[in-house]
Chain A
Amino acid sequence: VQLVESGGTLVQPGRSLRLSCAASGFTFDDFAMHWVRQAPGKGLEWVSGISLNSNTIVYADSMKGRFTISRDNAKRSLYLQINSLRPDDTAFYYCAKARGSSLGHNLDNWGQGTLVIVSS
């Protein structure tokens, strides 16, 4: 199993960014996927999850409205669109494969993370 995130960069407040996660080594469309973020030196914060067929999508309450998770099973890819970026969105963003039905119950494989820095 390999998960490789990309798209992290230095971006100005108020701008938008789309993160990607390329999956390999497993049948991507058999598993739910999630995004988790971690501000530098801080703890893990669950962001969002998407079921294998995109029928179920959930967000952390603090992420609703500005974050959009999506997936393209044909491309074996997971995405996270973040709009109106704020300095407190600065974090490593990890994509992770879930295990279990629907949205899954735990995250058994993680990418290496991509760093988003929001600063003017």
Chain B
Amino acid sequence: DIEMTQSPSSLSASVGDRVTITCRASQSISSYLNWYQQKPGKAPKLLIAAVSSLQSGVPSRFSGSGSGTDFTLTITSLQPEDFATYYCQQSYSTRWTFGQGTKVEIK
């Protein structure tokens, strides 16, 4: 299986900060990389598909980039509603895998 490794596992940030989360695949996954946001007690929500395609209704402060094995989720000017756990997920292989998650907490 393709292993997805996110870093950091958690981070503390303040409202207004710029936050960057990285996701590394154990082999090239081309652009088959998605990002999800999950808030406590809720189901995950698709944020970004295919590396950089922002989903409808997702604020433009979220962006994604990368290709091959290294990918980044960036949140410019963190807002209170952005405190959550973020997961990357690959669909290059028929056996999908998620990263272990990055918890974004309030400093």
Contact = CB atoms under 8 A, between A and B. Distances in A.
A106 B49 contact: yes
Interface residues of B, number: 24
B34 interface: yes
Interface string A46-85: 1001000000101111000000000000000000000000
B43 A105 contact: no
A106 B46 contact: yes
Contacts of B44: 36, 44, 94, 107, 110
A113 B43 contact: yes
Contacts of A46: 89, 95-98
Contacts, number: 65
The majority secondary structure among interface residues of chain B is loop
Contacts of B46: 106-108
Interface in B8-25: none
The majority secondary structure among interface residues of chain A is strand
Interface of B: 1, 32, 34, 36, 38, 43-46, 49-50, 55, 85, 87, 89, 91, 94-101
16 contacts: A44-B44, A44-B87, A46-B98, A100-B91, A105-B34, A105-B49, A105-B50, A105-B91, A106-B89, A107-B34, A107-B36, A107-B46, A108-B46, A108-B55, A110-B43, A110-B45
